Amino acid sequence: MPRPHLYLLAALLAAFGISHFSDRIDPYHLYVLTGIGINIILAVSLNLVNGYTGQFSLGHAGFMSVGAYLAAAVSLFLGPKILGDSGGTALQQGFMFLAALLAGGLGAALAGLAVGVPSLRLKGDYLALVTLGFGEIIRVIFQNVEFLGGALGLNGIPAYTTIFWVLAVVAVSVFVVTCLVNSTYGRGFLATHDDEIASEAVGLNTTRYKIVAFVIGAFFAGTAGGLYGHFKMTITPTGFDFTKSIEIVVMVILGGMGNTLGVILAAVLLTLLPELLRPIAEYRMIIYSLLLIVLMLVRPQGLFNFKLGKAKS
Amino acid sequence: MSEFLQQLINGLSLGAIYALIALGYTMVYGVLRFINFAHSDVFMVGSFIGYYLGKHIPENTVWGGIVILLGAMLGCALLGMLIERLAYRPLRGAATLNVLITAIGVSLLLEYSGQVFFGATPRTFPAVFPSANFNFGNLVISTNQIIVIAVAALLMVGLQLIVYRTKIGTAMRAVSLNPKAAQLVGVNNDVVISFTFGLGSALAGAGGILYALNYPSIDPLMGVMPGLKAFVAAVLGGIGNIPGAALGGLLLGTVETFVNGSQWSTYKDAIAFAILIIILLFRPAGLLGKFTVEKV
CA dist., res. A285 & res. B113, Å (int): 8
Strands B133-136 and B217-218 turn out to be unpaired
| Full 3-state SS string of chain B | CHHHHHHHHHHHHHHHHHHHHHHHHHHHHHHHCCCCCCHHHHHHHHHHHHHHHHCCCCCCCHHHHHHHHHHHHHHHHHHHHHHHHHHHHHHCCCCHHHHHHHHHHHHHHHHHHHHHHCCCCCEECCCCCCCCEEEECCEEEEHHHHHHHHHHHHHHHHHHHHHHHCHHHHHHHHHHHCHHHHHHCCCCHHHHHHHHHHHHHHHHHHHHHHHHHHCCEECCCCCHHHHHHHHHHHHHHCCCCHHHHHHHHHHHHHHHHHHHCCCCHHHHHHHHHHHHHHHHHHCCCCCCCCCCCCCC
- Give percent above pLDDT 70 in chain A: 96
Q: Is the residue at A254 inside a domain? A: no
Q: Which residues of A touch B95 (CB under 8 A)?
A: 300, 311-313
C-beta separation of A30 from A159 below 8 A: no
Contact criterion met (CB < 8 Å) for B96 and A124: yes
Among A174-188, A297-311, B280-294, the minimum mean pLDDT is found in A297-311
**What's the mean pLDDT in A225-233?**
94
**What's the mean pLDDT in B86-115?**
88
Q: Average pLDDT over chain A, rounded to whole?
A: 86
Q: Is the residue at A305 inside a domain? A: no
Contact criterion met (CB < 8 Å) for A289 and B112: yes
CA angle, A204 as apex, A198 and A209 as ends, to 5°? Answer: 110
Tens-digit pLDDT profile for residues A286-311: 888 888 888 888 887 777 776 544 44
ipTM: 0.83
**In total, how many domains does chain A have?**
1
- Helix, strand, or coil here: A154? strand
Amino acid A310: pLDDT: 46
Q: Is the residue at B18 inside a domain? A: yes
Q: B34 and chain A: CB distance < 8 Å anywhere?
A: yes
Amino acid B157: pLDDT: 92
Tens-digit pLDDT profile for residues B141-174: 888 899 999 999 999 999 999 999 999 999 999 9
Choose the closest CB to A293 out of B109, B112, B113. Answer: B109
Amino acid A37: pLDDT: 95
Q: B224 and chain A: CB distance < 8 Å anywhere?
A: yes
Name the residue type at position B111.
Answer: E
- A165: closest CA of chain B, how far (Å): 32
Contact criterion met (CB < 8 Å) for A118 and B276: no
Q: Is the residue at A273 inside a domain? A: no
**What's the mean pLDDT in A91-100?**
89
A-to-B residue pairs, Cβ atoms closer than 8 angstroms? 115
Tens-digit pLDDT profile for residues B23-54: 999 998 888 888 888 999 999 999 999 999 99
| Phi, psi values for residue A154, rounded to 5° | -100, 135
Q: Is the residue at A168 inside a domain? A: yes
Q: Is the residue at A286 inside a domain? A: no
Amino acid A110: pLDDT: 96
**What's the mean pLDDT in A264-290?**
85
**What's the mean pLDDT in A179-198?**
90
Give B200 or A126, the one with higher predicted confidence: B200
Predicted confidence band of residue A87 (pLDDT cuts 50, 70, 90): low
Amino acid B22: pLDDT: 94
* Cβ burial A65-82 (10 Å sphere, 16+ → b, else e): bbbbbbbbbbbbeebeee
- A35: closest CA of chain B, how far (Å): 21
Q: B293 and chain A: CB distance < 8 Å anywhere?
A: no
* Cβ burial B187-200 (10 Å sphere, 16+ → b, else e): bebeebbbbbbbbb
Amino acid B294: pLDDT: 56
Choose the closest CB to A125 out of B35, B98, B115. Answer: B35
C-beta separation of A181 from A53 below 8 A: no
Residue B152 is part of which domain span? 2-227
Amino acid A258: pLDDT: 80
Residue A207 is part of which domain span? 4-29+57-241
> Given a cut of 70, is residue B295 above it in pLDDT?
no
Q: Is the residue at A137 inside a domain? A: yes
Q: B235 and chain A: CB distance < 8 Å anywhere?
A: yes
Q: B109 and chain A: CB distance < 8 Å anywhere?
A: yes
> Given a cut of 60, is residue A268 above it in pLDDT?
yes
Tens-digit pLDDT profile for residues B211-250: 999 888 999 999 988 998 998 899 888 888 888 999 999 9
Amino acid A146: pLDDT: 84
Q: Report CA torsion sign: B10, B13, B15, B17.
A: negative
Residue in chain A lying closest to B277 (CA): A130
Contact criterion met (CB < 8 Å) for A137 and B270: yes
- Give percent above pLDDT 70 in chain B: 98
**What's the mean pLDDT in B120-130?**
88
Amino acid A44: pLDDT: 95
**In total, how many domains does chain B have?**
1
Amino acid A24: pLDDT: 78
Q: Is the residue at B222 inside a domain? A: yes
Q: Which of residues 276-305 of A touch B (CB under 8 A)?
A: 282-283, 285-286, 288-290, 292-293, 296-297, 300
> Given a cut of 90, is residue A35 above it in pLDDT?
yes
Amino acid A306: pLDDT: 65
Chain A interface mutation, best of B36, B259, B280, highest count of A Cβ atoms under 10 Å? B280
Q: Which residues of B touch A266 (CB under 8 A)?
A: none
C-beta separation of B199 from B31 below 8 A: no
Amino acid A8: pLDDT: 83
